């Protein structure tokens, strides 16, 4: 609301366009690894397997709604079938 009155520099707008990508990447990497104090982190294979169709849907559709739905359904199916 504050920025409606002002026009931002193109460099700032370009920099801010990467913010959603970095936030989603940070959340994705946080869910892929399980922390063990005093040891190296291990992979969470459920989330790794579920992320494959999710990333493919993100590349193909570029729709956040589709990505979230595909990710939730794929993780639910993996947990249901115990893969």
Which tens digits make up the pLDDT trace of 28-76?
Answer: 888 899 988 999 999 999 999 999 999 999 899 988 889 889 999 999 9
Q: From the CB of residue 44, how many other CB atoms can be counted at a distance below 10 Å?
A: 15
Q: CA 72 to CA 64: how far, in whole Å?
A: 12
- Give the pTM: 0.66
Q: CA 57 to CA 25: how far, in whole Å?
A: 15
Which pLDDT score, from 0 to 100, does residue 73 have?
96
Q: What is the pLDDT of residues 12-26, one digit of tens each?
A: 777 777 777 778 788
Which pLDDT score, from 0 to 100, does residue 81 have?
92
């Amino acid at each position: 609301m504050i920025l409606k009155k002002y026009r931002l520099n193109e460099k700032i707008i370009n920099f801010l366009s990467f913010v959603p990508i970095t936030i989603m990447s940070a959340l994705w990497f946080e869910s892929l690894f399980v922390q063990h104090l005093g040891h190296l982190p291990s992979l969470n294979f459920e989330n790794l397997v579920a992320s494959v169709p999710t990333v493919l849907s993100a590349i193909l559709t570029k729709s956040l709604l589709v990505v979230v739905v595909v990710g939730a359904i794929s993780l639910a199916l993996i947990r249901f079938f115990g893969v």
